Amino acid sequence: MRLAVLFSGGKDSTYTLYKTMQEHEVKYLVTMFPQREDSWMFHHPCVELTKLQAESLGIKQIVGKTKGEKEKELEDLKKVLKKIKDEIDGVVSGAVASNYQKSRIDRICKELGLKSIAPLWNENQEEVLREELKNNFKIIFTGVYADGFDRSWLGRELDENCIEDLVNLNKRHGINICGEGGEYESFVLDCPIFKKKISIVDSEIKWDDKTYSGYLIVNKAVLNNKKV
Q: Does 199 or 35 have the greater pLDDT score?
A: 199
CATH code assigned at 134: 3.90.1490.10
Among residues 117, 135, 150, which one ends one of the domains? 117
Average pLDDT, the chain: 91
- Asked whether residue 6 falls in the same domain as residue 104, the answer is yes
196 or 39, greater pLDDT: 196
User: Is the pLDDT score of 137 beyond 90?
Assistant: yes
- Residue 99's contacts (CB-CB under 8 Å, 6 or more residues apart) are none
- Give the per-residue SS3 of the chain: CEEEEECCCCHHHHHHHHHHHCCCEEEEEEEEEECCCCCCCCCCCCHHHHHHHHHHHCCCEEEEEECCCCCHHHHHHHHHHHHHHHHCCEEECCCCCCHHHHHHHHHHHHHHCCEEECCCCCCCHHHHHHHHHHCCCEEEEEEECCCCCCHHHCCCECCHHHHHHHHHHHHHHCCCCCCCCCCEEEEEEECCCCCEEEEEEEEEEEEECCCCEEEEEEEEEEEEECCC
Residue where a domain stops, chosen among 92, 117, 142? 117
Mean pLDDT value across residues 90-105: 88
Please indicate whether residue 95 or residue 131 has the higher confidence score (pLDDT): 131
pTM, entire model: 0.93
Verify that 72 and 149 share a domain, yes or no.
no
Residues 81 and 147 in one domain: no
Instruction: State yes or no: pLDDT of 69 exceeds 60.
Output: no
For 45-57, the pLDDT digits (tens) are 688 899 999 999 9
Statement: residue 191 has pLDDT above 60: yes
Structurally, the chain folds into a number of domains equal to 2
Identify the pLDDT of residue 38.
52
Per-residue confidence (pLDDT) for residue 33, from 0 to 100: 81
The whole-number pLDDT of residue 40 equals 44
Note down the domain range covering 82. 2-117
Residue 28: per-residue pLDDT = 98
Same domain, residue pair 179 and 213: yes
